[in-house]
Amino acid sequence: MNLTDYFIQKKIQGGDIREFERLFENYYGPLCHHALKIVKDMDTAEDLVQEFFYHFWKNRETFSPKLSLNAYLYQSIRNNALHYLEHLAVRKNYAEHVFNEYKVTMPAEVQPDVELNDLGNIINATLLKMPERCSRIFRMNRFEGMKYHEIASILSISVKTVEADMGKALQLFRKSLKEYTREGAL
């Protein structure tokens, strides 16, 4: 680690928000593009970088990289992006397992009609395509009936972030379900 990185680290560890903001401004765009190369979705890439910086600031006192600051940031984003993809694959496999089990164990007289089955597949596929936090917020709101302020409190995020993620989720559903919905139904 060079001397400049050392001083930046010490300032941030000491709670210097300006130094942290400067670091964020300098690296946010390049780190988003780095994550985008891995996850192939800009919303997810931005979420990963924002989440990283949130945890970086929250744990600043224990932050002690062995590498240069630049290498640490890029390696952390790479690791977070790969972890996200692994988690996405696990979620997809689990969803397929649950769906296959459901199809196999349902008696023939209770089988839903093909259109309803297709609709369920589209909904599940859309939820799997969403960034994890976005999907979680949507489920908490629509499936569990939670209010935005309750979700914000549980996830330790702002109500505006909940609103923004719900907007993203609804936009994805509008695209995925447009043949099944009347205009403006969602």
pLDDT for position 119? 66
Q: Indicate whether 104 pLDDT > 60.
A: no
Q: Indicate whether 181 pLDDT > 80.
A: no
Q: Exposure of 165 by Cβ count < 10 A (0-12 exposed, 13-18 middle, 19+ buried)?
A: buried
Q: Tens digits of per-residue pLDDT, 11-20?
A: 988 899 999 9
The mean pLDDT value for 82-95 works out to: 77
For residue 156 the two structure tokens come to 């330790």
Q: Which of 30, 86, 85, 82 is nearest to 53 (CA)?
A: 30
Q: Tens digits of per-residue pLDDT, 117-170?
A: 566 677 778 888 888 899 889 888 887 888 899 899 888 899 899 999 988 888
- Residue ranges of domains in the chain, CATH in brackets: 1-85 (1.10.1740.10), 112-186 (1.10.10.10)
- Can you tell me the distance from the alpha carbon of 85 to that of 83, in angstroms, rounded to the nearest whole number? 5
